[in-house]
Amino acid sequence: MDKWIVFLSGNVPGGFFLLLLLLVVTFLILLFMYRVNELFTRRHFVRWSVFGLLLFTGIYTGIWLANPPHFLYKRYTVGLIQSNSKNNWLGEYFTDLLGNSLQPFKDRKDYFFPQDWFYRMTPSDSANNSNFMINAYINMPMQKVLSGKIERNGDTFNASLRLQEFPSGKVIKREESRFDFQNLREFVTWAQNNFGRDFPFKNNIKIAKFQESDSVLVLAKHLFYERRYREAKDVLQSTGNVSRTDPDFELWSQFIRIRLAGEESLESWTGNAYIKTVLPWQKEMESARNKILERIRDGAQSPMADLMVAESYIWEENYGAAEVFLKKMYSENPFQIDVLLNLTFLHPSRYRDLGFKRTSEIYKQVLIYCPVEEAILLKWSDLVLKGNPAYTSPPEVAKEFIGRYLAINPYSPKVWLMLGKIYAQQRLRPDALKAYLKADSLQPGDGLINYNIGVLYYEWEKMDKAQHYFDLSIQYDDYLDSHLYLGAIYRDKGDFKAALKEFRYRVAHRQGQNDEYADQAMKGIRECLEALGQLKQQGN
């Protein structure tokens, strides 16, 4: 029954129960009119009741269809492995080859889910575990998966592919054949002929010639998706002249340069907007962008190239130029989550024509498309937590998205911690404690986790346990806010000297002018000094 309520509620504000409330109120109003007004006959009552039912149900259905719930979206993906090697670079190479040969979406509810999106989880290498991936396919769900094995034998390879439906895991079709590495087009054409009814292949597919050095490019991409840009740069540079002669190597080298320049800009930021000096990272950013634009002008068709050009403009705060590329990419593929995330850097008025009123709406859409985007799940949930009372529906929606993520990947301490925070805000303390302890089991010795457990026990008025976890958070990471709570615990116990020590420590480590916890510690110091003064007077 709960699943049906969730299904019928969809993304409509207020959900199915709001529709029922409107129908009941309408019925009662019409019934009242029928009882007190002789001119409002039984026929009028029936007609207006039916009209109200149809009107409100029609409006509700329209909103429901205009904002389709996440369970209506369908996904298809490709995931191949190399069967006769511990190093799966060839499997990833052929996964990219077929993935890049597919249309990015079939319609507004059926789209391609790239394998590199799984790197957005924690830990990111979970995607290398076949059992983990099957669980992800079931719980997402991934409706169509083209999986299989690549077995290399010198200059040839054997491809054994199967088409599966999820969540059932049923194998719909199997095909197997042998191909030459120097004729990859034959392999793609074979896959298209056998699986094209379920997977929308592109027309006029461009296929690069296979090279052994591609193993290095696969590794570099792997590191790039894991945000290990310096390592990715070192890997590409290890190939020597190859990276300067191969077009794909050259493009990815520039992508890495842009991300590294972006990281450098954060490190060198001074906070002074009036400094006009061109910094080294800006020169690096411009140089990399110009090389990518040169490739685009030469006819290179790469969504990633457009994306990185847009990102480079965003780093330079040239939002107008970035908007041109982002909206072009959005029109070509509205399911590209990196485009959506980069749109959030623009002013809200610039993306309202795309149907989004605020950043949080874009975050939510990203999570609908990619439920394993952990960083955005945490950021969006935190916005929900801070901006909505515990008894409203947004925290429940956040719990739904978090539950969906944890069904796919139950190994993230940060997501368990966020779930605990939502439960704690709703005063569901046993559930909050369970989530916190799960986070602690996955990442023991973490000061933030122990601090949150301490806060939970403090609000639960279990002071001894609260003190224990605050002590642990200080022991592990010297978590500053634990000193404030310890000071409050000591003060309430009447140990004002111990409380003063904790309060003074927190004030001495003030985090900026608007540090509310330091202000609370100052208040605690005054209260302790007053109490000590009164005790001294009583002693005299």
Does residue 146 sit in helix, strand or coil? strand
Q: How is residue 344 written in tokens?
A: 């959030």
Q: Give the pLDDT confidence score for residue 209 in this predicted structure.
A: 87
pLDDT bracket for residue 130 (50, 70, 90)? confident
DSSP 502-539: HHHHHHHT--STT-HHHHHHHHHHHHHHHHHHHHHHHH
Q: In what order do the strands lie in the sheet with 74-82?
A: 105-107, 110-112, 74-82, 144-153, 156-165, 170-180
Q: Give the pLDDT confidence score for residue 533 in this predicted structure.
A: 80
In this model, does residue 12 exceed pLDDT 90?
no
Q: How many Å apart are CA 86 and CA 433, to the nearest integer?
A: 41
Residue written as tokens 């000591």?
Answer: 490
Residue 163: beta bridge partners? Answer: 146, 173
Q: How many Å apart are CA 387 and CA 424, to the nearest integer?
A: 15
Sequence-ordered list of residues with C-beta below 8 angstroms from that of 423, at least 6 positions apart, any chain: 429, 431, 432, 435
What percentage of residues in the chain have a pLDDT greater than 70?
A: 95
Predicted TM-score (pTM) of the model is 0.88
In terms of Cα–Cα distance, which of 417, 406, 425 is closest to 452? Answer: 417
- Kindly state the average pLDDT of the residues 98-120: 94
**176 in Cβ contact with 158 (< 8 Å):** yes
In this model, does residue 348 exceed pLDDT 60?
yes
Q: How many other C-beta atoms are found inside a 10 Å radius of the C-beta of residue 95?
A: 23
| Residues 158-211 pLDDT 10s | 999 999 999 999 999 999 999 999 999 999 999 999 999 999 999 888 888 888
Q: Give the pLDDT confidence score for residue 277 in this predicted structure.
A: 76
The one-letter code for the residue type at 432 is: A
Q: How many Å apart are CA 244 and CA 306, to the nearest integer?
A: 20
What torsion, rounded to 10 degrees, do the Cα atoms 301, 303, 309, 311 define? 180
Q: Give the pLDDT confidence score for residue 243 in this predicted structure.
A: 54
How far from 207 is each of 137, 248, 339, 380, CA to CA, in Å?
A: 28, 12, 25, 39
Q: How many Å apart are CA 253 and CA 289, to the nearest integer?
A: 11
CA quadruple 47, 50, 56, 60: dihedral sign: negative
In this model, does residue 2 exceed pLDDT 80?
no
| Residues 453-509 pLDDT 10s | 999 999 999 999 999 999 999 999 999 999 999 999 999 999 999 999 999 999 999
| Residues 389-433 pLDDT 10s | 888 878 988 998 999 999 999 999 999 999 999 999 999 999 999
